[in-house]
Amino acid sequence: MALLKILYRPFPRIGGAKNKFWAALAFGIFVFLFLFFFKPFGIGTFTTRQILLYALGFGGVTFAVMFINLLILDKIFSSFFKEETWTVGKEIFITLVHIVFIGLGNYLFANWLSITETSFNRLLYFEFISLSLSIFPVTVWTLIKENMLLRRNRKEAEEFEPVLHPEKTPAIAAEGTVKQEIIPPGYDINLPITFTSENESATLKADPRQVLFISSADNYIKIYLLEGDAVIQKLLRSSLKRTGDDLKNHHQFYRCHRAYIVNLQKIESVSGNARGLKLILENCPVEVLVSRSLNDVIKMKLQQIHSL
């Protein structure tokens, strides 16, 4: 039961071609170094030049296979790879799936080099070696990384407390200076918002004081509105990019994630897990994700909002 709880803990998914490239390259370099220095599977009998070439070859195959997997698997199985549902267990599982493909790639490469025979048993041998050498370090590294990220993000979430509730920590809130440039002088931030559909055939008007956040939903956006103590949703065929244009004069709204635009005035607290920071909004059961690269920007904008 304790193990299941660990496997269901949140974990960040590798996103973006650049991050996927570096993750695949790290795997390839690891395989190269392992083969070159430890010389397993009898390659220690080869010359140094042969060992170097073989290690580079297997490392290159590892990099190529993993990079291709990272690029295409989440497109084919998009429902499985949702960022908001990614866990420690999924990270371990998909890494082992990568290793199965890497084992196949390295078997085909070794067969091409004529350093192994063509047989199903040899393929199974490559897969067995790949998995047996990987499952323990993959699991341990994933758990260590989850713990490190959890500690870091919780600590960073705590730093938002004096920004959101300066009355509780006046000494901390007084440190530094805040640029009050977020809203132009004389501008009424409570002017009604008009959300426009992608083809401009439909509109939705809303009081900005009621809008909690907007999320993307395929070809639609979901607008979360606070009516009394209840949260309701409005659906409009549009995109967050188009919605950003609708909100360009409403400076209390900010796109904090590729899938979310949040009303900064509605944030009550910030929490953190291994995936990153989450914004907790007024009377809202849904937590809004923050892109890891925008943590400092969100903090600065909250300081600006609360300094008005």
Please tell me the pTM assigned to this model. Answer: 0.84
Q: What pLDDT, on the 0 to 100 scale, is given for residue 180?
A: 46
DSSP 217-248: ETTEEEEEEEETTEEEEEEES--HHHHHHHTT
Collect all residues with Cβ–Cβ distance below 8 Å to 135 and sequence separation of at least 6: 96
- DSSP letter, residue 294: G
Q: What pLDDT, on the 0 to 100 scale, is given for residue 199?
A: 84
Q: Which residues pair with 226 in a beta bridge?
A: 231
Helical pair 88-112 and 120-158, crossing angle rounded to 10 deg: 150
Helix (H, G, I), strand (E, B) or coil at 138: helix
| 40: exposed, middle or buried (Cβ count in 10 Å: 0-12, 13-18, 19+) | exposed
**5-62 per-position pLDDT tens digit:** 999 999 999 988 999 999 999 999 999 999 999 888 778 888 999 999 999 999 999 9
- DSSP letter, residue 10: B
Q: What pLDDT, on the 0 to 100 scale, is given for residue 183?
A: 57
Q: How confident is the model at residue 176 (pLDDT cuts 50, 70, 90)?
A: very low
**213-262 per-position pLDDT tens digit:** 999 988 999 999 999 889 999 999 999 999 999 998 898 999 999 999 99
Average pLDDT score over the chain:
89
Q: What pLDDT, on the 0 to 100 scale, is given for residue 173?
A: 43
Q: What pLDDT, on the 0 to 100 scale, is given for residue 225?
A: 97
Mean pLDDT confidence for 189-216: 91
| 168: exposed, middle or buried (Cβ count in 10 Å: 0-12, 13-18, 19+) | exposed
Could you tell me the CA-to-CA distances from 48 to 55, 114, 115 in Å, in that order?
Answer: 10, 18, 16
Q: What pLDDT, on the 0 to 100 scale, is given for residue 15?
A: 86
Cβ proximity of 288 and 260 under 8 Å: yes
Is the pLDDT score of 72 beyond 80? Answer: yes
